[in-house]
Structure 1
Amino acid sequence: MTAIKHALQRDIFTPNDERLLSIVNVCKAGKKKKNCFLCATVTTERPVQVRVVKVKKSDKGDFYKRQMAWELRDLAEVDAKDASKENPEFDLHFEKVYRWVASSTAEKNSFISCIWKLNQRYLRKKVEFVNVSSQLLEESVPSGESQSVAGGDEDALDDYQELNAREEQDIEGMMEVCEYAISNAEAFAEKLSRELQVLDGNYMDLSKGHIRALQDGDLSSPKGIEACINASEALLQCMNVALRPGHEKLMAVKQQQHLFTELRDTFARRLTNHLNNVFVHQGHDQSSTLSQHTAELTLPKHSPLHRDLLRYAKLMEWLKNTQREKYDGLSRTYVDYMTRLYEREIKDFFEVAKIKMAGTTKEGKGNKFGLHGSSGKLTGSTSSLNKLTVQGSSSRRSQSSSLLDMGNMSASDLDVADRTKFDKIFEQVLSELEPLCLAEQDFISKFFKLQQHPTLAQVNSILVTLRKDMVRLMMNKIFQSIETELNSLIALGDKIDSFHSLYMLVKMSHHVWTAQNVDPASYLSTTLGNVLVTVKRNFDKCISGQIRQMEEVKISKKSKVGILPFVTGFEEFAELAETIFRNAERRGDLDKAYVKLIRAVFMNVEKVANESQKTPRDVVMMENFHHIFSTQSRLKISCLETERREAKHKYTDHLQSYVINSLGQPLEKLNHFFEGVEARVAQGVREEEVSYQLAFNKQELRKVIKEYPGKEVKKGLDNLYKKVDKHLCEEESLLQVVWHSMQDEFIRQYKHFEGLIGRCYPGSGITMEFTIGDMLEYFSSIAQSH
């Protein structure tokens, strides 16, 4: 506004021998905003004429033009609309009523105050002032003083006053600067007159109301704060007036500058002391409310504190521009105080989270937690895990969440409810921290004027970087305990149950993603990103731990193997993981873990099968790979499709191998005989000549066949069924599948034997002692009897 006043004085009013005393930016009430300026002016020649002049920009917007003028003596009434509340509207009653809306209440009040002064001084007919604060009018003209509109009594200008020695020196100094001061005295006098008018035009004149606000204004009430804001801005305008060469040597200018400096320093001290006290008092009030949050997993809200302090944001900006040292000191004080406050709150908050997570309450001063994992014991003990042996399926158990102990645990053992509870607690922690950090960062940016304006990045990228760095440094200091507390909570969750890392990876990833979408460079985004690294490391450690435990498994020599615990453990892991990672951002991490785990499962199933003494290798492979294939077919994990097909292939291969090897036992001599027959044929003996071989003649064939009458065959199959039943585990339910496969293989072998007899012993009339129908009846009755 100061620059506009200078321009209007120079271009419009000086050529018309007028002085501009006050200006207000307005638009007509109730219409589209076409801004113009109302100017209060006086003529420089006697008798003085007082006018209200309307000035607007040209249509092209490159200069100002005078549009309309009213004589002040024609003004009947000034209506300020409301004397108690801030309102930018006002009416001027000339020959008709002109309704205006000022750009700010402060400008409107200043303009009305000037009109009142001019009315009091120059007009006999007094203007009526309606809805104008009496305080405003009283501040304009204190009693007992001779008033002037622009800071000097114009009537006194006609009186001659002798210059003192200092003033003579000032005039001589100005004459030295001005080359034509002596040669053209009239021009020099005119120049002095114009410059004095500028000085006299309220540019270096601060109202007594503003002075009182700076010296004694109430900094605790909204109205007092607003008055101090207006006064501080007015002071800054006065101090920043551009002086022409030589003006700084004038005694009056020096006195004003000295006054302004004293006012600035005084107000800066008052403001700094007051805000320091506000920090302390607000802190005490905030601390008194902490007790209500101790039993709940919630953080105290700081919005009341922020709201109260933001009223001082403009004053902080003034302090930043005028007293940077005090601004920096206040910044440090705020950060130091808030660090202590947040540290207490965050520590209490995380303590509640840990208690809830551990499922215990405080006990004594030590506040030791009774930590319960999925099996009711601490997960820290790994010595027993390393010694874990594969025992009977009814007695397998371990002390931690692992693929080894999950496979054979009931729903209650898995503690699904506890894991769900943990997930909710962890989510609540992150959900409470997120708005707390964002709110504090937003407040710091606004209160300390560290926001990034849209055009600022183009103007000065270095300044933007500095502001961001300041916000980051302040946030790092204030919330220095968050990262430590989060890592501590994560370590506790991981200790209670290593599978908690799955929940934490999903939750933390989501919150990092959300924070980065809001502001990638924010404190929250950076901190959560750092913590996410720890969570991912724990997740990887969990997967590596499961693999290591598979490799350390020892098998029992006394019990059948059955479904290995890490095989059923992988099934439970996959079911849990698929639930947790549904629609998660970090699905890729799980897929990589799946591949590592399933390859380890494959490798260690083969290892156990090779080492097994009680259970045949084919049974270990068949049962476990059947379980793996069924799990993958049910869960449809796309990244494991190759492993699913491989598991099916291994299952069918070892099923066939087990069936063939097992069937060789009940008809052992018959099998050996025909194997010998096939060997002779393979050596080149013609099939019809095999019967001439001494060891394989018709008599030897009849002798072997007589050893296996139907009764003996059924007895042998019954013994085979019992043996298979001992080999296979109940949980996989493959007994009937294997038995049916044996039936099919037995029939195939029977037909093969009959074919050899027909080709190698043609016309002998030799047949088996039992038929295929007999075989089907044997297999069926044996299965039903068991």
Structure 2
Amino acid sequence: MKYEDVTLQREWEGAKEPPDVTVTASEAALGALLEDGDGEQDAERRVRQLGSRVARLDALNVGGMLAAATESGGAGAALAARLDDGLSAAAALGARLRRCDALARAAPDAAHARTDAARADANARALLAELDAIYRWLDPPPLRDLDSLAEPVLTTAEGRARALAAAEALRAALRAEPTMPAPRRRLAAVRERLRRLARAKDQLAAALARHLNNALIHLGNEAAQESRPHRHHTELAPYAPFMRWLKDMDEKAFDALVKVYAGSWARVYEREVRGACEAARAALCRDRTDDLLDHVLSLVESLCNAEQDFCTQFFYLDIDIKSDSSDGEKSEGGERERGDGGRRAGAETRRFMHELFPALEPELVALVGHVERSEPYGAMRALACVGRRVLCAEGERGEQAARKPKCGVFSFVSELEELSGACEAIFATSGRRADLDRWYLSLASAMMHAIQHAEHPRTPRAVLHMENYHRLHGTLSSLRVPALEALRRECRTRYSDALRAYVTQYFGRPLEKLTQFFEGVSEAVASGVREDEVCYRAAFSKHELRRVLALYPAHEVRKSLHRLYRTVEKHLSEEGGLLQVVWRAMQEEFIAQHVALQARVAACYPAAGLALPLTTQDILDAFSDIAREH
């Protein structure tokens, strides 16, 4: 053993002696240590020696503590066990730390990724993605050559396809501008590109308008010189997508083309209709009136239907192009009126057809006047001919009308108002009152028969009868014709019966189990049991009544009323205008059932303190609230 170790051992052993001995030994050892040296030149060596001695002394100190603890009865073993447990826990913690570090390094947003190099890489990738989005927005392949849009080739199918692709890409880029982030739109390059796209849009719109204007005028001149019906429909059909684009991007140019078309073909159709009417007037003395009128009406119907079908598709009438980025949306009125068969037009279509056939009504009125002057009942023949064609057209549209989710009021019922107004203006002051009343009676009787036997797959029959009888009753009442009084009362009766049948069928008994309970009570009373003794029977006891009443809390009753209102709203149509009437009838039915049940509770269970879940005022409030909410 070296001198230093012997000295440390002695110092350790001296630590077990009394304090004065330990201090003396330590001082002696320290003095010996300090005296043993060669001066300042060995300072570094002495520091190293002192450090190593201190370390060994600490080790001896720990060993001595453990030995002392072992000698004192096993506490040292426990301390050693705790130290082993601590080492094991430290090892497990280190392993867990290494796993967490590995997971963190594998994560894309790890802390180590926030270094300068990683941030630079992320920024470069974000910039690349932003530039790619800008290029896809403002520089798609169809827009690479903007100069070609000033003079597109529209005479060939391939040229039209390229021009249409460029037009749609231009439209998508310009319409997407408001939705783009503001920082992107503030870039100078983006602003410059948008200005170029706007100029290209104006140039393309001008080129399209110029080409289509020339085509419309050329085809109109050809149609005026030769009879080639509807040839222009086939030749203009490929340009329909361009008209849609113009309606969205340059409404002024679109309106100008619409006026050119209407002006060009109005003259053509005026000549055709006038020629047909003149031929009919000339042949009136030789042929039957019905055949002549049918021929003229067939010609007019074919012209009008063909033009309406073409114009609604070519000019996108009654379609809100700007509200949709792809196919547009039909306006509510246009969609509703065009639902049965596609022949009934919206407001924009009707206005356009009036501009396209301005001479149609005067020519037909003049023809009917000529027929009336030729024979006494000529006007009636004309009316019967027109009515026959209208009813045939309604019959042809029946299957398509059946696809509508609601039937609503039949068109012949609503058109009776317009017809009666025209008849009153023509015949009321001409001494034909009796004939006119007979016509009214015949028409109204036929309508009532048609309504009675009508059916619809998606509308309950009671609703169909209720709405149409109500509308027909209103029309007959407004005529104030004594000959129609019996029919008017019959319409009122059938309307009331249909309303009652619908309420009975769909309202039913909202408190079904409670109603069944009191039906049993009524049967017991009818069999001879006194009302105040019914509660002593097990099936009709107070406890059983409380159980049934618990099935109908107030909020559940309100939920069932909400469901009922949605059902009624789904069945009834807007033009019928009977939603609130039906809802009021259901309210009265509910109150009547409620009052009857409450009276039975008061008679049979007077001292039980039982009541229905809702009072009469609660029912009134619930019906009013539901009507307001919907």
Normalised by the length of structure 1, the TM-score is: 0.35
